[in-house]
Structure formats: C-alpha cells, structure tokens
Amino acid sequence: MRHHRFTGLILAVLFLPIILVPLQTSTAQQETTPTPYYVSSPNGINVRMKASTDAPVSVTLQPGAIVSVVGQTEGESINGNPTWFIVTINGETGFIHSSLLRPRSPDMPPPATIEPANSREPANPNATPEAVAILAYLYELPERRNKRVIAGQFGAYGDGTSRETAEKQLQKVYDQSGQWPALTGMDYARWMDNASFDEPNGFLIDQWQQGALVNISWHAANPWTGGNSNDWANTATSNPYDTRSVRELTIPGNAAYDRWITMLDKVASGLQDLQDAGVVVLWRPLHEMNAGWAWWHRQNPEDFKALWRQMFDYLTHEKKLNNLLWVYSPNTNHSEWDFGSTYYYPGPDYVDIVGLDKYMDLDEDPVQLNRYGEYDDLLKTGKPIGLFEFGPLPASGEGWDTVKYNYDNLIRDIKELYPRLVLFQAWEYVWQMGNHNNVDELMNDPWVIVRGDLPDWEEEAR
C-alpha cells in the first residue's frame, strides 16, 4: 500500500487496462507491432481529452502501470517534444505525453516455471512449535465445511495512525458485529525512526495474548537515499525514471548495502522482542513487488529473488528469528501487460504463505482477484493463500466520503470464486471494515473465523 493521506484521496488513480490506438488523422502514426510501455513518472499521470496540458483530464494512472503503444500524434510541445500517445479507455479517446511513458525493458525474462511446495513444513526448519501449528492450521482450512476463512482488520501504517487508532478500528468491528477480528497487524515503517518498536509491539503482543493472529508489513525506506518507500527513481542514470537494482543490496562493499543491513538489524530487534514474548508473526516484507510505486518494484525477477533470499537468510540464520512465517504478497494486475503474481516468487524454500493485495474500482462487483490469472497462478505454489490487503475503494481513497461497500459481498465472492482463500485483511483508514456496511453479516457468516474461533497455539503445538 502506498502513502494514502488526503493528497491521495483527491487524486483518483484508476487501474484500467489501456490500449493505445492510432488517431485517424494525417498527423497520427501507427506502430506495426504493439510495444508494452510503462508509466515512468514517479507520480500519477493525467490522461487528457486532447493533446494539451490545458485539456480536461479523463483519468489519472499510477506509476508503473503498463500500456501497449501502437500509435502517436503531435500536440502541445513539452520541453521541445510534441509527441503524444493516443489512448482509448472504455471506448473514449485520450492522450498521454510521450515523456511520461518508457518502453518496458526487453531483457526482462519470461515468467519462471513455478515449483510447487512439496512439504507443509515452514521454510525455516527451526520454526517455533507455535509457528508450525499455525501453518498446519492454514493448510487445513480449505478442506473444512465451515469456519475456513480468517477475518482480519489491519491496525496502523499511514500518517497520523497509532496504537490507539488501531484499537479503535478493531472496536468498531466488534461494536457492529459482536465479534473481534482474528487477524490484525502493524507496519514497522511507521516506527523506524523511533528508539524502539514498543508501540506497535505492545499492540501486537496484547492482540496475540487475547487470541488473535498478527502480521507485520514494512514499507521500507530507500536504502540509497533515505527517502520513503515511494522514492524509487534512480537519478544517477541518464534516464531519471530508472529504478536502482536491488541486487546491489545483496553485495557487501557499498554504502547502500551497509544501510540495508542496518535497517534489517533495526527490524530484527523488533521481531526479536516479539519472539521473546512468544508471538508468531506473519512477516510480509517487500510486498506488491509487481507494482510500480516502491523502490523494490519493477526489478529484474532474479534480482528481487536474490534480495528476498538474502533477507530470509539474514533474519532466519544470522538473527535466529524462528517466530516468522514468511508471506509473499503481490498486487492484483491491472492489465495483461503487468507482471504476473508469481513473476517474482522466490521459491517454496523461502515462502510459507502467498497472497494478494487488492483495491477495488468503485463499480467493481464481484471483486476481481483472477482477471489475469493471479489467483490461479498462486494456487500453483501449493501454499496457503490470503488476501492480505483488501480495500473496497481504490488505492487513492476515491469515494471515501460517498461510497459504502457491502462487506457481505466479500465473503460471497470468496465462496463463489476464490474458495481456497484462508484469510482476508481489510486495510486501515478509509478501507477499514467499520467504515462500511454489513460488517455484522460478514463477521457472523458460517465460513468466517473470528478471534474466539482460533485455537490455543500452545496447546496445538504440544
């Protein structure tokens, strides 16, 4: 999830499949072979109704969105460049200045063949008995008749959030349904500059002791610049929209590697405190890696896998964190050109659970988790599958003040379309369950697992 305060709410970032077609005028040129391009601007870009920056905006697209270029025309010159690409979205013609798109790298390899899991044991052979028990429980859920989908409400990540706001979100769910979510979480980025992780860890320990499962994500800062997770542009190259290769973070002897290890050490200190408290963590780093908004996105897949495996080895073997279950969670795709959900999969020996992050379009019904085969591809891993970030509004927050999602539709769609899902987790803030409708029906559905339904993990581990 990208930063999401009110600047994001004002801007409607829509994720739509885009086809670029030739304008039927004398100035238009048609490509003989469609070529995939991506939105290279570090910010959302506007699709105009004419080839001019003064023209009305029809839609705004996110960084990294993939488009297929087949035509162009001339329009307003920007920095001496008059070339605009012509697009049609839902049958309407629009225009994007050519400086905002870059060809998708031709050296990106095709998707690798997915090796299915041949064991239901954790990737860490020294995982705690409680971690082993939780993973075994997740594997077993799709075979049940009822009580098979864990209900989650994330706690805190964005600006202005805290332990207090996380607790209020959980209370909202309880007040509306009489049930507590069985899963909650925190994002360590919110507290990386603090002396300790006492605030998020205190919340997670309390939730664990009350019977909930917990997860942690990490919108990691840029180890090259110190900027936030959205700081992905590599200004050291002739193309200022290039990303830096994360392979550099796996090779000792450079400043970025040193900063990365320091960051891992800080995160490990918080995870160690949770291990000391007996808490098992569903650890979800480097998420949405097939998107385009963070510095670890749009990487060569082998470079990303190397970074994931380095983090796994460092936290598992060097730091001896045996309380982690490792979660791989890409984004749902927005076009046929996007990298698939398993394109960056680091392999069964480094992952325990797979999942998707999904933010819905305003008119989306049912929820689309498999439009481009994302759900089916993750099934091939043989791992338990979750919906780790669910937003019933677009990621921009568009519609936050006017749209109320029917949360009962979520479990309807899981039953009918995605029956192998073992959990869902509503994101915080405007996407939280308590801000929308029919939470009572969702939380009391026969398929849904609430906090009181979970086992005692110490007993299960015996």
The active-site residue out of 288, 374, 398, 428 is 288
**Would you call 288 a catalytic residue per the annotation?**
yes
**Would you call 389 a catalytic residue per the annotation?**
yes
The active-site residue out of 130, 389, 398, 428 is 389
Q: Do residues 365 and 304 lie in contact, with contact meaning Cβ atoms separated by under 8 Å?
A: no
- Three-state secondary structure along the chain? CCCCCHHHHHCCECCCCCEECCCCCCCCEEEEEEEEEEECCCCCEEEECCCCCCCCEEEEECCCCEEEEEEEEEEEEECCEEEEEEEEECCEEEEEEHHHEEECCCCCCCCCCCCCCCCCCCCCCCCCHHHHHHHHHHHHHHHCCCCCEEEEECCECCCCCCHHHHHHHHHHHHHHHCCCCCEEEEEHHHHCCCCCCHHHHHHHHHHHHCCCEEEEEECCCCCCCCCCCCCCCCCCCCCCCCCCCHHHHHCCCCHHHHHHHHHHHHHHHHHHHHHHCCCCEEEEECCCCCCCCCCCCCCCHHHHHHHHHHHHHHHHHHCCCCCEEEEECCECCCCCCCCCCCCCCCCCCCCCEEEEEEECCCCCCCCCCCCCCHHHHHHCCCCCEEEEEEECCCCCCCCCCCCCCECHHHHHHHHHHCCCEEEEEECCHHHCHHHCECHHHHHCCCCEECHHHCCCHHHHHC
The residues that are catalytic are 288, 389
